[in-house]
Structures are given as structure tokens and as C-alpha cells.
């Protein structure tokens, strides 16, 4: 696969001409295109999607299954399917006819190619080793005490955070690679996952989403009624709140340059400029 293009600034006036020649690539679980719109196969909605660090793989989750695509080969035969990734009642994953809980989130490790984390509706966080083609091996798991909502990796890849639905509780999961008995690089890795429940030292709010800053020293939390909270990490001490949103905020992201924080509500995108890259108190905001 060709290396990704280096990022470059694009003028607003140049955007239409830049997008026009681009053609989408279709990744479909159907081996053949449908003859009409009425013969579309019944496929559950895609709940989440994640790129691997190098961009060579795309993970998606639908219902109780996970599928990992080769980004350069969109044929379904080149993908890896993990059926019933979170089986109910302690059953064995991957078996046909086994009832599985829904897979809520998937996220590749930002540091290790081929290591994928998944979050099930049962509150189970599971790691998968995907380095062997067309094969997925579970290599570690732990269960949060309540139903999880959002799963994110720390930029350094040594921790995972999982929010608890309808609350501001956060599960902090330490991810530690265990030593293996062989030096074979294809030998499945094993990980130890240890979870601890944390409640941020911040004004109470229900978290709808969370995201790390580029450095991992700050955590952004979107809320139902209190804008976007900026927390110190790992202390989770409240630093600042991005307010002036008309209602619930749903998503937040730190810009690649580190100069801005963008957050979205139902019908508004608000970008806040950071003073000299500092996130404790953004200095300027623009709304679209």
C-alpha cells in the first residue's frame, strides 16, 4: 500500500476542485452488487469504525459481529470476521448459533498495528490480535462494572478509557503486554487489563463522548448540558469548560496542529483557539 500523503493546507475556494475527482471505494459484505435497490442484503447498521495506525486496516462493528477490512482490497473475502465477539452468559466467541451482545465500539491501538479493542453492550472490553491474515485471536479482556458508552485509547497506547452511560464515571484500564515464551513475532501477544473507576473532579455532568488531546495530558468530555469540559490527565482535575453551546454536545477533537479544539452539538460546530498551544483556557471561538 502506498504511504499516506503528507498533510497540506487547502484553501476553502480550492475544496470543490480537490474533492471532485475523488471516487469512493465500496466495502460491502455482499460478494456481488445487488441487481436493484429492492434486493439489498439485510445488514445491521455500522455502529463504529476505526482505522489502524498505518491505515492498512479498517475495523467496523455491526450488531454482535466485528469485521476488519484490508483497506487496499475491499473484497469481503479479504476481510476478517469476528462473529459473536461478545457472547452472552460466558459462551465461546465465534460459534454459530451463539447469542451475542451488541458490539458498541471498536478502536485500534494507536501504537501497535494489529491490536484492536472492542467494547460490548455487556460492559466487556476485549483485545484482539489481528496480525495473522483472516484470523482474530482474543488476547486479553476485563469487564467494567456498568454498561459502557465510549472507548478511547491514550495516544501512547498504554491505557484505555471507557465511559459509563448516563453518568460522568470513567473506567481507566491499564494495558500491559505480558512476556511470551517465544521470540516468534507472529506468536499471539497476551495483555493484562486492569480497570479502576474514576470520577472527575469537575462540575457534575453526564458525559456523551470523550477524546484525548494530542499529547495525552488533557481529556475532553462532551456533556448533555454543560458544554465541553477540559480535564487534566491522569488526575482528571477540571481545567476549563468550553461553553456557549445551545444544548447537548456530541463530539470533540483536537486539531493535528494542536492550535484548535473543535466540538459539535446538534446543529453547531464550535472551534476554539488555544493560547500558544495551551488547553487550560482557549482564547477565541468561532461558530458555524
- Per residue, the 3-state secondary structure of the chain, as one string, reads CCCCCCCCCCCHHHHHHHHCCCCCCCCCCCCCCCCCHHHCCCCCCEEEEEECCCCCEEEEEECCEEEEEECCECCHHHCEEECCCCEHHHCCCCCCCCCECCEEEEEECCCCCCEEEEEECCCEEEEEECCCCCCCEEEEEEECCCCEEEEEECCCCCEEEEEECCCCCEEEEEEEEECCCCCCCCCCCEEEEEEEEECCECCCCCEEEEEECCCCCEEEEEECCCCEEEEECCCCEEEEEECCCCCCEEEEEECCCCCEEEEEECCCEEEEECHHHCCCCCCEEEEC
Stretch 58-78: mean pLDDT: 93
pLDDT of residue 216: 97
CATH architecture of 43-179+187-199: 7 Propeller (2.130)
Residue spans of the domains in the chain: they are 43-179+187-199, 202-287
How do residues 86-126 score in pLDDT, each as one tens digit?
887 666 666 655 556 789 999 999 999 999 999 998 889 99
Output the average pLDDT for the chain.
Answer: 84
- Which band of pLDDT confidence, cut at 50, 70 and 90, is reported for residue 61? very high
In the predicted structure, residue 31 carries a pLDDT above the cut 90: no
pLDDT (tens digit, 9 = 90+) per residue, 220-258?
Answer: 999 998 789 999 999 999 999 988 677 899 999 999 888
For residue 52, what pLDDT band results from cuts at 50, 70 and 90?
very high
Amino acid at each position: 500500500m502506498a504511504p499516506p500523503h503528507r498533510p497540506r493546507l487547502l484553501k476553502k475556494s480550492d475544496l470543490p476542485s480537490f474533492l471532485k475527482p475523488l471516487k469512493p471505494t465500496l466495502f460491502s459484505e455482499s460478494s456481488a452488487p445487488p441487481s436493484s435497490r429492492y434486493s439489498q442484503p439485510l445488514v445491521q447498521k455500522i455502529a463504529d469504525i476505526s482505522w489502524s495506525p498505518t491505515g492498512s486496516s479498517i475495523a467496523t462493528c455491526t450488531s454482535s459481529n466485528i469485521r476488519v477490512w484490508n483497506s487496499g482490497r475491499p473484497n469481503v473475502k479479504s476481510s476478517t470476521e469476528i462473529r459473536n465477539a461478545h457472547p452472552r452468559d460466558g459462551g465461546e466467541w465465534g460459534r454459530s448459533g451463539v447469542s451475542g451482545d451488541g458490539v458498541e465500539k471498536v478502536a485500534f491501538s494507536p501504537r501497535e498495528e494489529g491490536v484492536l479493542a472492542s467494547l460490548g453492550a455487556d460492559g466487556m472490553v476485549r483485545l484482539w490480535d489481528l496480525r495473522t491474515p483472516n484470523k482474530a485471536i482474543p488476547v486479553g479482556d476485563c469487564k467494567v462494572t456498568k454498561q459502557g458508552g465510549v472507548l478511547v485509547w491514550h495516544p501512547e497506547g498504554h491505557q484505555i478509557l471507557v465511559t459509563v452511560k448516563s453518568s460522568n464515571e470513567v473506567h481507566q484500564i491499564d494495558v500491559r503486554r505480558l512476556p511470551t515464551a517465544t521470540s516468534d513475532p507472529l506468536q499471539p501477544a497476551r495483555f493484562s487489563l486492569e480497570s479502576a473507576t474514576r470520577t472527575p473532579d469537575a462540575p457534575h455532568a453526564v458525559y456523551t463522548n470523550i477524546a484525548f488531546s494530542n499529547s495525552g495530558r488533557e481529556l475532553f468530555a462532551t456533556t448533555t448540558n454543560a458544554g465541553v469540559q477540559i480535564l487534566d490527565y491522569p488526575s482528571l482535575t477540571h481545567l476549563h469548560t468550553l461553553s456557549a453551546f445551545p444544548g447537548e454536545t456530541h463530539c470533540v477533537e483536537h486539531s493535528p496542529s494542536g492550535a484548535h479544539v473543535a466540538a459539535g452539538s446538534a446543529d453547531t460546530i464550535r472551534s476554539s483557539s488555544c493560547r500558544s498551544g495551551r488547553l487550560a483556557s482557549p482564547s477565541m471561538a468561532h461558530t458555524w
